[in-house]
Amino acid sequence: MTKSAHHGAGRLLRRLVSACACLALGSAAAAADVDFSGKRIQLIVPVAAGASADLSARFVAPLLAERLPGKPTIIIRNVAGAGSIAGGNEFQNRARPDGTDLILVTPSAMLNYVFHDPRVHYKLNEWIPIAGMSQGMIVYSNASLGIKDAAGLVDLGDKPVVMAANSATGIDLGVLLPLDLLGVAVKPVFGMNRGEVYPGFQRGEFNISFDAYAAYRQEILPLVEGGTAVPLFSLGYTDASGAVGRDPTVPDIPHFLELYEKVKGHPLAGPEREAWDAVYNLNVMSTRAILLPAGTPQDVVDAYAKAVKQLVDDIQKDPALREQAANFIGPQPMTAGEAAARNMKSAVDFSPAGYAWLKDWLKRRYDVTVQ
């Protein structure tokens, strides 16, 4: 990573760890003084309605509202555009530091921040995380591609593989990179938000795509069962020991590192693996985060911390609620405090060698220059 990028990542980590330490040490009495009765809280979701991040936000919002003091109403506001930059910039410019404005940060928003996109005006390192969500990612093909499983990817030859994407440095990077490492010649159609992809996939305009678990189960699994879509591989999931294995939501399909080793005959290693690790952590292990704006008073931060902890506990105790959560945010519990900070740190902590390799890869493959 460049010197400036390293400094940005360091500032982000220090801010997140500091904010999360405050969450852990916040006074329960101070939090009890906060009252959102009659308030309308706006949660900016920087993707189109119907996208997987939007589904996650719409599941979490009413549950969080019920556990906040005064039980306010949380309103979802979709501000899509520019790979989540539009929503991030609006939040930076307009969010009120009184607990009535939140943002759900996506991998695209984090990547654009890390890559110093000149359109980015938001200061992610100053925002305060209150919750994090990890979520698996599943890659699948249209039956029209003519393959039956992931192994068929290497036998496609010159057959066009078309994928709708927003940008090479957005969330799509998490799938474009592994497909390229596998040797699949993908032709991306850039400029499309995730909410626009599904109709085109159904029409056969795109023959390979991906989704987080919630959208996959709701929109794609019926196509799989009907024989018009084929699951190929997941990006994997990191267990408590730090090992990457199969995604527990789709245990019957291989994960990327497993598939790569099978196809290539050796594990992914070197700077390619270092680049992959950072991109994977961003797209899977820190795929969603809900944050308050900088300057939010500590008693408000404490009130949110208490509400998130209660929500996490309630989901784990209630089998019906836990099943619903699995459908919309994945089977893994939401994280708060220091755990949420660690996940965000892993998503932006590229090694110098990995970042240099990724920077060169983006230039070679898509003529995209990053700092």
Residue bearing tokens 């759900």: 104
The phi-psi region of residue 92 (left if phi > 0; otherwise alpha if psi is between -120 and 50; otherwise beta) is alpha
* Strand partners of residue 132: 289, 335
Greater confidence, 371 or 141? 141
* C-alpha–C-alpha distance, residues 6 and 263, integer Å: 34
Q: Which residue from 235, 339, 333 is spatially nearest to 278, judged by alpha carbons?
A: 235
pLDDT at 109: 86
Average pLDDT rounded to a whole number, residues 42-53: 93
The amino acid sitting at 46 is P
What is the helix (H) or strand (E) element at residue 72, kind and residue range? none
pLDDT higher than threshold 70 for residue 218? yes
Residue 175 CB partners (closer than 8 Å, separation 6+): 137, 139, 163, 210, 235
Q: Quick one: DSSP state of residue 304?
A: H
Give the pLDDT band (50/70/90) at residue 3. Answer: very low
Alpha carbon 10 to its chain centroid, in Å, reads 20
pLDDT at 317: 95
Helices (H), 98-193: 107-114, 173-181
pLDDT at 332: 76
**12-29 tens-digit pLDDT:** 445 554 544 454 444 445
* C-alpha–C-alpha distance, residues 67 and 71, integer Å: 6
270-280 vs 173-181: helix crossing angle, rounded to 10: 150
Look at the chain and count its residues: 371
From residue 206, how far is each of 182, 191, 201, 371 by CA, in Å?
19, 14, 5, 31
pLDDT at 161: 93
**104-141 tens-digit pLDDT:** 998 788 888 888 889 999 998 889 888 988 888 999 99
What pTM was estimated for this model as a whole? 0.70
* C-alpha–C-alpha distance, residues 282 and 261, integer Å: 22
Average pLDDT rounded to a whole number, residues 202-211: 92
- Asked whether 136 and 237 are in contact (CB, 8 A), the reply is yes
What is the helix (H) or strand (E) element at residue 125, kind and residue range? none
From residue 193, how far is each of 80, 131, 200, 260 by CA, in Å?
8, 24, 12, 28
Q: What is the mean pLDDT of the chain?
A: 86
